[in-house]
């Protein structure tokens, strides 16, 4: 497993895990400022620098044009995949002033999954990932911990949820009704399965502070 830590320009809620030797660390635009606050030196700084001025005291910079198809976070994700990373942790990918970037980063989790990697997007005491035609087991780390699942596509079928307050069996989720929101993890380990389709799933984490 090769890991990548990406720091984006949204709200930073604190580190769940610090990068270790051998991990790839990428700052996307103003995510560089978050790295400095956290005492982390990124391996690469990339972006179009519309959120901050390009620093003069950092050497490994890839500057991209402002007019492009990729967000700065997506550029970082593509770089992580090119470097062989199969696990990507994204900090600063939610919050801030741009809901559109939060939505883009949530979709990016499916982009990663469809390329054989798994992404984790950290929010305020919450983490999100994407699953497609597979099962995912999560551990309960918060008593009565929240769990939500949303359809990423036209519909998702064959959904089972076990170990939750509101279990599902061979259910269907669509983007037209948020049936999967605000469940609770009841057992030490809970499992969600989707047989056909893709889901965005998120669960509550213990507070850092």
Whether 170 and 109 share a structural domain: no
Q: Are 88 and 108 in contact (CB under 8 A)?
A: no
Please report whether residue 209 resides in a domain: no
Place of tokens 């620098």: 49
- Give residue 69's pLDDT: 79
CB 198 within 8 A of CB 113: yes
Q: What is the CATH number of the domain that holds 37?
A: 3.40.50.10240
The pLDDT value recorded for residue 119 is 98
pLDDT of amino acid 15: 95
**Distance in angstroms (rounded) separating the CA atoms of residues 186 and 157:** 23
Answer with the one of 105, 124, 143 that is the final residue of a domain: 124
Which CATH number is 139's domain given?
A: 2.60.120.320
Q: What pTM does this model have?
A: 0.94
Q: The domain containing residue 183 runs over which residues?
A: 130-204
Backbone angles phi, psi at 55, to 5 degrees: -70, 145
Does 115 share its domain with 161?
A: no
Question: Consecutive 10-residue runs of the chain (209 residues): their mean pLDDT?
Answer: 94 94 95 92 89 78 79 95 98 90 96 98 97 97 96 97 98 96 97 98 94
CA distances from 26 to 58, 96, 162, 200 (A): 13, 19, 36, 24
DSSP annotation of 192: E
- Among 90, 124, 158, where does a domain finish? 124
**Could you count the other beta carbons within 10 Å of the beta carbon of residue 153?**
14
In a domain, 106, yes or no: yes
Q: How far apart are CA 154 and CA 12, in angstroms?
A: 32
* The predicted structure's pLDDT at residue 87: 98
| pLDDT of 58 | 84
For residue 36, how many other CB atoms are within 10 A of its CB? Answer: 15
**Residues 137 and 50 reside in one and the same domain:** no
| C-beta separation of 108 from 119 below 8 A | yes
d(CA 103, CA 2): 26
């Amino acid at each position: 497993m090769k890991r990548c830590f990406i720091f984006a320009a949204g709200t930073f809620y604190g580190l769940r895990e610090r990068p270790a030797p051998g991990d790839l660390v990428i700052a996307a635009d103003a995510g560089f400022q978050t790295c400095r606050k956290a005492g982390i030196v990124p391996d690469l700084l990339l972006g179009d620098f519309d959120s901050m001025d390009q620093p003069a005291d950092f050497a490994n910079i890839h500057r991209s044009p402002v007019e492009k198809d990729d967000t700065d976070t997506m550029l970082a994700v593509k770089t992580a995949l090119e470097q062989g990373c199969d696990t990507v942790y994204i900090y600063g990918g939610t919050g801030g002033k741009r809901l559109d970037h939060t939505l883009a980063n949530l979709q990016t989790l499916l982009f990663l999954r469809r390329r054989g990697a798994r992404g984790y997007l950290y929010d305020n005491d919450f983490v999100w990932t994407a699953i497609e035609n597979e099962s995912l087991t999560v551990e309960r780390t918060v008593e009565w911990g929240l769990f939500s699942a949303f359809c990423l596509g036209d519909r998702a079928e064959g959904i089972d949820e076990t170990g939750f307050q509101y279990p599902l069996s061979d259910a269907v989720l669509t983007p037209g009704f948020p049936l999967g929101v605000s469940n609770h993890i009841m057992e030490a380990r809970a499992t969600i399965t989707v047989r056909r389709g893709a889901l965005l799933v998120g669960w509550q984490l213990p507070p850092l502070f």
